[in-house]
Structure 1
Amino acid sequence: MKKLFTLLLLMGYSAIAQNTYIHCGNLIDTRSGKVLKNKTIVVEDGKILSVNSGFVNPKTDNDILVDLKDKTVLPGLIDLHVHLEEESNPKKYIERITNNREDVALRATVFAKRTLLAGFTTVRDCGGTGVNIAVRKGINNGYVAGPRVYTSGRIIASTGGHGDRSNGRNLELVEDWGPDKGIVNGVADARKAVRQRYKNGADLIKITATGGVLSQAKNSSNPQFTLEEITEICKIAKDYGMKVAAHAHGDEGIRRAILGGVTTIEHGTLMSDESMELMKQYGTYFVPTITAGKEVAEKAKIEGFFPDVIVPKALAIGPKIQNTFARAYKKGVKIAFGTDAGVFDHGDNAREFTYMVEAGMPVMEAIQSATITGAEVLDLENSIGSIEPGYLADIIAVNEDPTQNVETLKDVIFVMKDGVIYKQ
């Protein structure tokens, strides 16, 4: 028995469980919307064991103490709209041709780690080449550091629509892509595309219900799916246990997406009051991505940053998203935090909080949109988004109380995910 114990120690196992005690000067309770004082979080085996009043000291020499008595502690943040495979730059469109999948994957691991260290412990990757599925696997298997990833794999789009990655290429070099690559035309294609995403290992479905800003196509707002196609996509997705996120700028495409049964509307730039009421009726969430709108509007002013066809769309759509968000919030539409990181630098996701607060949302509600609401969208409301016993130990800290200074969320100084400390 003694030999077995010695062997286990040599292999890295310990006979004594190691707990982590976190002393919190401030603790944000996302359930009540209150800032609690002087608490101790005890973490065991990757989960929160208890949340105690006062500063409780470790029970054994084997335990770890993290002193955050002069910091504000909150749950790991959730960004429901990122693109881990890319980051906007003037060479982006040529890189889609010159970069191999290995190049994309290696760079994505850097973006993933940067996102995690910024305090975002869970993200929803809303589309790429499919490499994002491999990135998720790599993170889950512990090969690379990154947030918990839920991904759509490839976007589902229509021929020539936003999300058709062959747009802008030499037509003689482009095949007539079909459902396997996410391009659909008709109900049968739509059905097959969803099943292909499931086969490839996607967690959710992302469609482009309207034109978009950064695609090399003229229109940013026209509807690009029929109601029947969207309804079929949502029906099959439900059969396979997946939800549907819909990129949409124009109001007709937004309306069709809501009626078709999507879970979230991404961007929603030109959304009418009628569509907002429809979202409330159907329980659809709005993921605004204000930061991306502001970023593309600024970058469009730099000559040569975007292809010419994109510039007028960026200048027209980008500045409007924040105002749409303000209207939707006042109307009582459910808001879930999402940024479109990748359109701007990964790791700068917390800029979104500042813009949300500028538009009239109280800081605590903005934080809740990135914690408990995001968890609801992912069906993880009993696992993440709150610091409670039994929840995964996704815990971050900032220097100040964000309800007094929202800018402090841009400077996360402590990150724990699944009980593992990645930044201290």
Structure 2
Amino acid sequence: MKYVIRIVPTLLLLCAASWANSQTTVIRNIHLITGSENRVIRDAQVVVQGRIIQQIGKTGDPIPSGATVIDGQGYYLMPGLIDCHTHIDNLAAAQRALHSGVTTYRTAGVSAFQDVALGELSRTGKIAGPDVIAAGTFVTPQLGETILGDLRYSELIGGVQTDEELRKIVRINIERGAKVIKTRGTERAGLPETDPRKQVYTEHQLRVIVEEAALKGIPVMVHAHGDEGARAAVLAGARSIEHGTFLSDETLQLMKERGTFLVLTYITLEDLTKPGGDYSNPTLELRGRYMMPIGEKVFRKALSLGVKIATGADNDYAPHSTSRIALECEHYVRMGMTPFQAIQSATTVAADLLMVATTTGRIQSGLEADMILLPGNPLEDIRVLQDVLMVVSNGQIALLRIPFGKEQK
């Protein structure tokens, strides 16, 4: 017997999503964008078994007995979005990210390993998602309040500068469950008193971090707006440069040669300029207006060179935040990407960066069922990413806003 879902528009709470591993779900009457090809598969049907995509076929194909059937109403199904740079540290923020279409994210530093816990909840099915690549705590010269994140950090209260201090904090992060190490190449853009171009850690210090992390197979992401700090990070073996606002053509070419990813977080530069935004500071507003065209120039050059660009929104998904991957993709298209390239930056390229391409980032049999439903074709209008109608994360229906109508009783 077949069961057809008819649910009035609602947001399904993370903890309420409880699809059993044996649950079979069929999403029919959809137009499919797999993420691998720049085309739409019309009148498609996707069969999900537990967490995994079991089969991709055509609407009208046989439906497994007892399956839950969702009518996609002719809308567009594509892979879930990936945010490669967040600071999510609580359940509510994770839910907001999920409802925006993000089914996987990488953190860029939290205060006390909350990201590790969130990742474990998602991995074990306690929450629908998103999946988390946790960075743990930031490897930075002064830990500040992060000193409270682990009792062993008390030994680093004087700073994190020497080789042994750097190795120690990397080891603690990995022991606590971090799957990536986040460190600093330059100062921040989001503080009025700092210059984002100023280098922080040297190439030697960054190499110590990279080599210590590599002992456990863990990659390193490096915050670097300025060119000198970014180049040092690339030479040291960083997997990705975060921000990269002031990168020179020479550093971008080096990134291309070494396969280093760029996570531009352009939407954060725009956010600096918005009164009432995440920053809302007159000095930072001026800084953002100055940095935006420079960041755009770097993006265009990186694109022309073939540097791998992945999406990141660089925010904590607070209730008032508007920085989202959908808006980052809109900027990418405005700055020269095709819609398909922007989609790949948020799916297949991002999955490659996070080293999860064998499990997610595409709609393909055998991969995790991480998918979003959109009201229009994002290959024609990237802005439809801002209107997510359904989110499937690890096979669980985490958000369902259709059908919009109410059935007559």
TM-score band w.r.t. shorter chain: 0.7 to 0.9
Pair 1:52 & 2:57 matched: yes
Q: In the alignment, which residue of structure 2 is the partner of 1:153?
A: 136
Pair 1:238 & 2:238 matched: no
Pair 1:82 & 2:86 matched: yes
Q: 1:422 aligns with which of 378, 398, 403?
A: 398
Gaps of 5+ in 1: 1-11, 86-107, 168-176
> How many angstroms does 1:136 deviate by?
2.5
Distance 2:328 2:121 in 1: 27
Q: In the alignment, which residue of structure 2 is the partner of 1:9?
A: none
> How many angstroms does 1:239 deviate by?
0.8
Pair 1:111 & 2:93 matched: yes
Contact 1:207–1:245 under 8 Å retained in 2: yes
CA RMSD across the alignment: 2.7
The 5 Å alignment of 1:103-252 reads 108-130=90-112, 131-159=114-142, 164-165=143-144, 183-215=159-191, 217-252=193-228
Q: Which protein has greater RCO, CA pairs closer than 8 Å, 6+ apart?
A: 2
> How many angstroms does 1:370 deviate by?
1.1
Q: 2:33 aligns with which of 25, 28, 34?
A: 28
What amino acid does structure 2 have at the position aligned with 1:150? I
Contact 1:194–1:233 under 8 Å retained in 2: yes
Q: In the alignment, which residue of structure 2 is the partner of 1:173?
A: none
Q: In the alignment, which residue of structure 2 is the partner of 1:335?
A: 309
**Could you give the per-residue CA deviations for residues 27-68 of structure 1, whole angstroms, max 9, x where no partner exists?**
1121122221111111112101111134324232x2111111
Contact 1:216–1:310 under 8 Å retained in 2: yes
Normalising to structure 2: TM-score of the pair? 0.84
Q: Single out whichever of 357-366 and 131-140 deviates more from structure 2.
A: 131-140
Contact 2:47–2:56 under 8 Å retained in 1: yes
What amino acid does structure 2 have at the position aligned with 1:39? A
Q: In the alignment, which residue of structure 2 is the partner of 1:369?
A: 345
What amino acid does structure 1 have at the position aligned with 2:47? V
SS of 1:245's equivalent in the other structure is: strand
Contact 1:21–1:57 under 8 Å retained in 2: no
Distance 1:411 1:325 in 2: 26
Distance 1:414 1:133 in 2: 26
Go from structure 1 to structure 2 and tell me whether the alpha carbon gap of 1:118 and 1:403 turns closer, same or farther (over 3 Å shift). same
Identical residues among aligned pairs (%): 29
Contact 1:79–1:370 under 8 Å retained in 2: yes
Distance 1:72 1:182 in 2: 54
SS of 1:73's equivalent in the other structure is: strand
**Could you give the per-residue CA deviations for residues 215-244 of structure 1, whole angstroms, max 9, x where no partner exists?**
464322111011111111111111112110
> How many angstroms does 1:323 deviate by?
2.8
**Could you give the per-residue CA deviations for residues 149-183 of structure 1, whole angstroms, max 9, x where no partner exists?**
11111111124xxxx5469xxxxxxxxx7775795
SS of 2:40's equivalent in the other structure is: strand
Distance 2:387 2:351 in 1: 23
Go from structure 1 to structure 2 and tell me whether the alpha carbon gap of 1:204 and 1:347 turns closer, same or farther (over 3 Å shift). same
Distance 2:297 2:338 in 1: 16
Distance 1:180 1:71 in 2: 53
Go from structure 1 to structure 2 and tell me whether the alpha carbon gap of 1:59 and 1:152 turns closer, same or farther (over 3 Å shift). closer
Q: 2:299 aligns with which of 325, 328, 342?
A: 325
> How many angstroms does 1:25 deviate by?
2.9
Q: In the alignment, which residue of structure 2 is the partner of 1:67?
A: 71
Equivalenced residue count is 374
Gaps of 5+ in 2: 1-17, 147-152, 401-409
Q: In the alignment, which residue of structure 1 is the partner of 2:280?
A: 305
**Could you give the per-residue CA deviations for residues 95-125 of structure 1, whole angstroms, max 9, x where no partner exists?**
xxxxxxxxxxxxx211110110111100001
SS of 2:389's equivalent in the other structure is: strand
What amino acid does structure 2 have at the position aligned with 1:227? E
Go from structure 1 to structure 2 and tell me whether the alpha carbon gap of 1:144 and 1:126 turns closer, same or farther (over 3 Å shift). same
Go from structure 1 to structure 2 and tell me whether the alpha carbon gap of 1:216 and 1:136 turns closer, same or farther (over 3 Å shift). farther
Distance 2:287 2:40 in 1: 42
Contact 1:262–1:284 under 8 Å retained in 2: yes
What amino acid does structure 1 have at the position aligned with 2:246? L
Pair 1:384 & 2:367 matched: no
Go from structure 1 to structure 2 and tell me whether the alpha carbon gap of 1:350 and 1:181 turns closer, same or farther (over 3 Å shift). farther
Q: In the alignment, which residue of structure 2 is the partner of 1:101?
A: none
Distance 1:315 1:165 in 2: 29
Distance 1:183 1:309 in 2: 28
The 5 Å alignment of 1:261-276 reads 261-276=237-252
**Could you give the per-residue CA deviations for residues 111-146 of structure 1, whole angstroms, max 9, x where no partner exists?**
110110111100001111022223333333444454
> How many angstroms does 1:351 deviate by?
0.7
**Could you give the per-residue CA deviations for residues 370-390 of structure 1, whole angstroms, max 9, x where no partner exists?**
111111112211110111111
What amino acid does structure 2 have at the position aligned with 1:328? A
What amino acid does structure 1 have at the position aligned with 2:107? D
What amino acid does structure 1 have at the position aligned with 2:139? I
Contact 1:154–1:181 under 8 Å retained in 2: no
What amino acid does structure 1 have at the position aligned with 2:333? V
Distance 2:47 2:224 in 1: 43
Distance 1:334 1:178 in 2: 38
Q: In the alignment, which residue of structure 2 is the partner of 1:172?
A: none
Go from structure 1 to structure 2 and tell me whether the alpha carbon gap of 1:371 and 1:182 turns closer, same or farther (over 3 Å shift). farther
Contact 1:289–1:321 under 8 Å retained in 2: no
Distance 1:57 1:413 in 2: 25
Distance 2:138 2:24 in 1: 42
Contact 1:394–1:416 under 8 Å retained in 2: yes
Normalising to structure 1: TM-score of the pair? 0.81
SS of 2:369's equivalent in the other structure is: coil
